[in-house]
A and B are shown apart, each in its own frame.
Chain A
Amino acid sequence: MVFKRYVEIGRVAYISFGPHAGSLVAIVDVIDQNRALVDGPCTGVKRQSMPFKCMQLTDYVIKVPHSARQKFVRRAWEKAQVTEKWAGSNWAKKIEARQKRAQMSDFDRFKVMKAKRMRNKIIKHEVKKLQKEAAKKA
């Protein structure tokens, strides 16, 4: 399969740039080749048209008929537990880690450096131990 995620009614998309950057929306209808009618009742995005370019498709699809009212989009969203599933996904975790890293103060960076150094020391120590044992056996 070349493509795994398709633009379909109910496909949950992540908005990558623009005024609503960072939130999830569900594709409710397709307007034309470049735009979709989009709604994010549980993520604070009003029902509006949005170009496909700023959307990135996720794995989640909610069961919703085309042009469904916001009330039903919300119902389907909550039934499929999209927000919880998204929070547990690796994608969302990576985004959060990136944001945390950007907000680090100088002192935080120092603490991270010290923690990394300590961790690597422990790892290297164990690896050396195993290497020694392997060398002894051989």
Chain B
Amino acid sequence: MYMSLYRLMAEGDKKKVAKKAHCSRNPVLARGIGRYSRTAMYARRAMYKRKTKTTETKIEKKMKVKTPSTITKTVGGDKNGGTRVVKMRKMPRYYPTEDVPHKLKNHGKKPFSQHKRNLRATITPGTVLVLLTGRHRGKRVVFLKQLSSGLLLVTGPLALNRVPLRRAHQKFVIATATKVDISGMKIPKTLSDAYFKKKRLRRPRHQEGEIFDTEKEKYQLTVQRKEDQKAVDSQLLPLIKKVPQLKGYLRSSFCLSNGVYPHKLVF
């Protein structure tokens, strides 16, 4: 009977069964206090079996690259030519006489880039949205994807309603029930928040007059934008043409009239 059990084990081992994660082996006595100490937990979790990193050999030690402590930089400007040596880690330039009181650490306050992005369930790739604010208000537009900042990437398409590849805010948009099947479309990876961010020219020469005269008020179209627009629209337009009357729908704009109440409308 022993032999048969062994054989069964060997057959199972070959496939490397993935085990389900165990719940916490340290029951909670009160908030922040567990039943077992650190060393007891080490034994309970069998961490002695899980050592993956062994001590490094002498060869490995020699192979390790040490970050340089100094860097040589070229001297520019007036005293041009020649090099100077700069330390990478400098000594502190001030030692306070009394201990500076330390601020309490923050809990759970993340910067904007790490915030959780939500997307309404009604907005899926290919949904027709109605823009409510901005210069394109009232226009019906196709949703492509949500960018990492949470804003929605949207396109007219340009040929139908003069809305280019643009970002739109989820809150200022009505999601309609109409959807285009966009699953086969490939959106260029270069379209991100950095691509769409407004550029600011900041080189004021500190002159007395014309401080408030900003140089770049007008938006400049770049060749890259035109190409990306073409790449996206050439895939999107045939999909739109397949659905009858959708082209005319995207060309029209949304409006309210007498007897039409938004809270009663089904979008």
Contacts and interface: CB of A to CB of B under 8 A. Distances in A.
A114 interface: yes
Nearest to A115: B245
Nearest to B179: A107
Contact of B176 (A103, A106, A111, A114): A106
Contacts of B246: 107
A102 interface: yes
A110 B255 CA distance: 11
A114 to B, nearest CB: 7
B254 A106 contact: yes
Contacts of A111: 245, 249
Interface residues of B, number: 16
Nearest to A106: B176
Interface residues of A, number: 9
B141 interface: no
Given A104-B266, A105-B266, A114 B245 contact: yes
Contacts of B58: none
A107 B266 contact: no
A9 B125 CA distance: 58
B243 to A, nearest CB: 9
Interface string A85-113: 00000000000000000111111001100
B219 to A, nearest CB: 30
B245 A105 contact: no
A110 B266 contact: no
Contact of B177 (A102, A107, A114): A107
A114 B254 CA distance: 14
Interface in A101-138: 102-107, 110-111, 114
B166 to A, nearest CB: 20
B248 A105 contact: no
Interface of B: 128, 130, 140, 176-178, 245-246, 248-249, 252, 254, 264-267
